[in-house]
Amino acid sequence: MSKYLIYAFSVLVAAVVGESQVDADDAAGRPNIVLIMCDDMGWSDIGCYGGEVETPNLDRMAAEGMRFTQFYNCAKCTTTRASIVTGLHPRRKGGLLTRKMVTTGEVLAAAGYQTSLSGKWHLGSKDDTHPFLRGFGQYYGLLDGCCNFFDPSIPDPEYKGGRVREFGRNDERITEFPSDFYTTDAFTNHAIEQIKTAAGNKQPFFAHVCYTAPHYPIQAKPQDIEKYIGRFKMGWEEMRQQRYERQIEMGLIDPETWSLSQHDSKAYDWKNADHEFEDRRMAVYAAMIDSMDQNIGRLMQTLEETGVDDNTVVFFLSDNGGCSEEPGGARSCGAKPWSQKRLRRGRTVVGMGSERAVQTL
Ligand SMILES: [Ca+2]
């Protein structure tokens, strides 16, 4: 059985890579790495961290591996991503990713790894910043920050500028998508292809899987939404109390040193909220995470079926906490549900040239 790790990725690359360039024979036997990152998810949303969303595959990873109770990110998609692929604290001057930096893809490729990235990149698409040109031998996904989950060729709504988001495979642009398309499934399909191919070769592999779920727009499949309808009628005030109590029971929180924080000053009053709308909004958000967990189950199954699970380390993390933006207003499909009402501790600090997250939950 694999020893899965959950919620961290920093020192492993340095630990497994010693030489600047190695051949396939030297690289053989080194551990495979699967680094899964989701987008804008609050840490208390998934089951193994006290949330309501059914995440049996992540829960299994947590049970067989390790959960981290302290984790720091860079507050926003791009800064966290720049940091995780370079190991450097991002600076805006000159761009978040420059040729003066090496990426994990470049370092691991030089160490004999087969490298791939499936999903969101958000660090650029020019010669110096495109993932296919920056160490990821196989790329498929969204070069931009977010897109329509069912058809990325659909332009953004007017309130987001109305542009079409850039999507591609390796260095080619993709502009048409099949009728049954859903980004979370498509990213997983690509990652599974890469793992199956790589597992048959002598060299180890590095598969970076970057889901756009549950970043806005909030879009999920009807069958996934259905099972969550009605589950959030307790309201966000009661929900955060329930999560807090579950996290104490799980040993994630020490109530002696961490009391439940005050409500966010921008949080709406549940008593005056449209309960049907808010319940449904949260059900769609939950369904996006549920779908991601189903797909992570497919990834884990692929590792087992290809016989590489005993020599593969798997990480899961979120690039930042729950999003507090509401593009299009509180009742648009771009609105982020309940983010300011979930468990919070500290606050996110973003400044020019120096982004840091105190702790985003
Ligand atoms: Ca994000």
Burial of 84 from C-beta contacts in 10 A (0-12 / 13-18 / 19+): buried
Distance CA 303, CA 323 (A): 32
Pick the catalytic residue: 38, 48, 74, 122?
A: 122
Q: What does the mean pLDDT of the chain come to?
A: 86
pLDDT at 263: 78
pLDDT in tens, 202-224: 999 999 999 999 999 999 999 99
For residue 311, the CA-to-ligand 1 centroid distance in Å is: 30
Average pLDDT over residues 3-19: 49
For residue 302, the CA-to-ligand 1 centroid distance in Å is: 27
For residue 359, the CA-to-ligand 1 centroid distance in Å is: 14
Between 331 and 192, the higher pLDDT residue: 192
Average pLDDT over residues 166-177: 98
For residue 248, the CA-to-ligand 1 centroid distance in Å is: 27
- Give all domains of the chain, ordered by start, each with its CATH number: 12-357 (3.40.720.10)
For residue 18, the CA-to-ligand 1 centroid distance in Å is: 31
For residue 246, the Cα-to-chain-centroid distance in whole angstroms is 23
pLDDT in tens, 45-68: 999 999 999 999 999 999 999 999
For residue 83, the CA-to-ligand 1 centroid distance in Å is: 13
pLDDT at 11: 46
pLDDT at 333: 59
For residue 172, list its beta bridge partners.
169
User: With bands split at pLDDT 50, 70 and 90, how would you rate the model's confidence at 329?
Assistant: confident
pLDDT in tens, 275-317: 999 999 999 999 999 999 999 999 999 999 999 999 999 999 9
User: With bands split at pLDDT 50, 70 and 90, how would you rate the model's confidence at 360?
Assistant: very low
For residue 317, the CA-to-ligand 1 centroid distance in Å is: 11
Closest CA to 187 of 171, 168, 203, 204: 168
- Answer positive or negative: Cα dihedral of 324, 325, 331, 336: negative
Pick the catalytic residue: 38, 48, 74, 77?
A: 77
pLDDT at 348: 30
pLDDT at 18: 53
Q: In this structure, are strands 312-318 and 348-349 parallel, antiparallel, or unpaired?
A: unpaired
pLDDT in tens, 211-261: 999 999 999 999 999 999 999 999 998 999 999 999 999 999 999 999 998
User: With bands split at pLDDT 50, 70 and 90, how would you rate the model's confidence at 150?
Assistant: very high
Distance CA 283, CA 273 (A): 16
Active site residue 208: no
For residue 110, the CA-to-ligand 1 centroid distance in Å is: 29
Active site residue 122: yes
Distance CA 327, CA 307 (A): 44
User: pTM for this one?
Assistant: 0.89
pLDDT at 262: 82
Distance CA 151, CA 25 (A): 42
